[in-house]
Amino acid sequence: MTTTPVTGDDILRGPGFDPAMLRFQFPILAQKIHGDKRLAYLDNAATTQKPQPVICALCEYYEFCNSNVHRALHELAERATEQYDESRRKVARFIGAGQEESVVFTRGTTESINLVAYAWGRKFIEEGDVILLTEMEHHSNIIPWQILAREKGAKLVYVPVLDDGSLDIEAFHRSLSSKVKLFAVTHMSNVLGTINPVKELADAARAAGARVLVDGAQSAPHMPIDVQDLGVDFFAFSGHKMCAPTGIGALYARRELLEDMDPFMGGGEMINRVSLDDATWAEVPHKFEAGTPNISGAVGLGVAVDFLANLGMDKILEHDRRLTAYTIEKLSAIEGIKIFGKAPERGGAISFEVAGIHPHDLSQLVDREGVAIRAGHMCAQPLMKRLGVGAVSRASVYLYNVEEDVDQLVYAIGKAKDFFKV
Ligand code: C6P
């Protein structure tokens, strides 16, 4: 295994937005795979690689600052607390939250959505209420609502997906009524790449009296986000899909909602005062962060959002668009390929099938050529059913991908076709 030598100052300053140069900030990309194969990492919708500043921040945190937060008064505890709190301020700025109290650190999108389902849903959803979802949701934005609906006697209604992979907006409007208490929708589909018009959807849903939750797992890493401009009540995302470590993410919620909600988990740090048979809660967001949090993860997330903001989220989006168009053009030229998702507004998660090759076989064969893609149901089984498939292959791009990665994928698919003689 070879890694790129790094020089601290150069890397922290960064080269501006040039994907080919940016690759040098991601040491993992420099290694060879299966002997001498160049690594074409195209599984970014699952998780992204980490840049040197994030890796260095983790080392530095453990070398100089490691301690628990919001507890002790010694120097290390103060350093750790300062870094943890500063990361919350950075995340709040990054998503336009307005105030840091609106940002709850979680393990990621899944935990953020579950937090809302338990802490808000259990208090405010009643028998006969409707929870409006869409057919393109990830399981993380289906299962928590199924559990809640079963417990409360509420009803789940799904907005259908049209044949081109976009949401049926007319059906969405028809589904709105005073019974709809929550509309939970993905900002960008991890299968179809579809970017939903969440501002317009949120406006209509809130005007009908519903709360709006947006699953930003696939959007926050790829485009500028301003949760206040989007007009949403809740916004969930994962750090690991945007250059930060695994096991850290956040939930944005409007402050008054957080204040009205019951705690999600009980334990240390989420209380104000405890007696043997009673307790009062800490101020938000601490009410929702029971126990010792993922401090180093939060520090890494703070550095990651700085890294992305310095590059410019608008530039990242522009790069995504260009490389997505290039990928779709190149893949479309392959005989026997079918691409799922042709919505006019789409991002860089590109799912496809190649006639005569099972997606699992295809992903193993392209891996031999150094190409990492994902295969399977993408944690979106209802959507697979809608598409009439059991599984798909998926290539997904990020800021460090270049045309050469796509060309390598196309070459590898060609070799897989030769292998299967299709
Ligand atoms: N999708 C994928 O390969 P977590 O696991 O909590 O970080 O994110 C869950 C999640 C929620 N919503 C959407 C739209 C997602 O894409 C994901 C994660 C990965 O597509 C892993 S299944």
Express each pLDDT in 340-379 by its tens digit.
999 999 999 999 999 999 999 999 999 999 999 999 999 9
- Neighbour tally for 107: CB within 10 Å: 20
247 and 297 in contact (C-beta within 8 Å)? yes
Q: Is 138 in the pocket of ligand 1 (CB under 6 A)?
A: yes
Of 56, 59, 243, 379, the catalytic one is 379
What residue ranges of the chain are covered by domains with CATH 3.90.1150.10? 8-49+312-420
Average pLDDT over residues 255-263: 98
Q: How is residue 395 annotated by DSSP? A: E
At residue 13, does pLDDT exceed 60?
A: no
Mean pLDDT calculated for residue range 134-149: 98
- Tell me, what's the pLDDT at 17? 83
**Where are the domain boundaries for CATH 3.40.640.10 in the chain?**
57-309
217 CB near ligand 1 (under 6 Å): yes
At 11 the pLDDT is: 43
- Residue appearing with tokens 């509420």: 154
Alpha carbon nearest to ligand 1 atom 22, residue? 379
Three-class SS state of 207: helix
Ligand 1 contact, 166 CB (< 6 A): no
If you measure from the C-alpha of residue 251 to the centroid of ligand 1, how many angstroms do you get, rounded to a whole number?
A: 14
Sign of the alpha-carbon dihedral angle for 59, 306, 103, 101: positive
Return the structure tokens found at 80.
């750790």
Tally of CB atoms within 10 A around 360: 12
CATH architecture classification, 57-309: 3-Layer(aba) Sandwich (3.40)
Place of tokens 């939250």: 97
Does residue 379 have its Cβ closer than 6 Å to ligand 1?
yes
Q: Could you tell me the pLDDT band of residue 16, with boundaries at 50, 70 and 90?
A: low
Mapped onto helix, strand or coil, the DSSP state of residue 333 is coil
Measure the CA–CA gap between 111 and 239, rounded to whole angstroms.
12
CA–CA distance, 387 with 190 (Å, rounded to integer): 14
Distances (CA, A) of 326 to 323, 331, 347, 407, 419: 5, 9, 12, 10, 25
Lookup: tokens for 174: 């028809």
Please give the average per-residue pLDDT across 264-285, as a whole number. Answer: 97
Mean pLDDT of the chain: 96
pLDDT tens sequence across 41-58: 999 999 999 999 999 999
Taking Cα atoms as reference points, which of 241, 348, 301 lies closest to residue 103? 301
Task: Specify the amino acid at residue 238.
Answer: S
What is the C-alpha to C-alpha distance for residues 362 and 371, in angstroms, rounded to an integer?
11
Query: Is residue 379 among the annotated active site residues?
Result: yes
Question: Rounded to whole angstroms, how far apart are CA atoms 24 and 236?
Answer: 30
**Could you tell me which CATH number the domain at 8-49+312-420 has?**
3.90.1150.10
CB 218 less than 6 A from any atom of ligand 1: yes
E-strand ranges in 47-140 read 103-106, 130-134
In sequence order, the 6+-apart residues with CB closer than 8 A to the CB of 18 are none
pLDDT of 71 reads 87
Please give the model's pTM, rounded to 2 decimal places: 0.96
For residue 131, which of 159, 112, 109 has the smallest C-alpha distance? 159
Answer yes or no: is pLDDT of 7 > 80.
no
Number of Cα atoms under 13 Å in the Cβ half of residue 355: 7
Q: What's the CA-to-centroid distance between 355 and ligand 1, angstroms?
A: 27
CA of 249 to the centre of ligand 1 (A): 12
CB contact set of 175 (below 8 Å; sequence gap of 6+): 130, 132, 157, 159
Bridge partners for 338 per DSSP: 353
E strands, 34-169, are 37-38, 40-41, 103-106, 130-134, 155-159
What confidence tier does 72 reach under pLDDT thresholds 50, 70, 90? confident
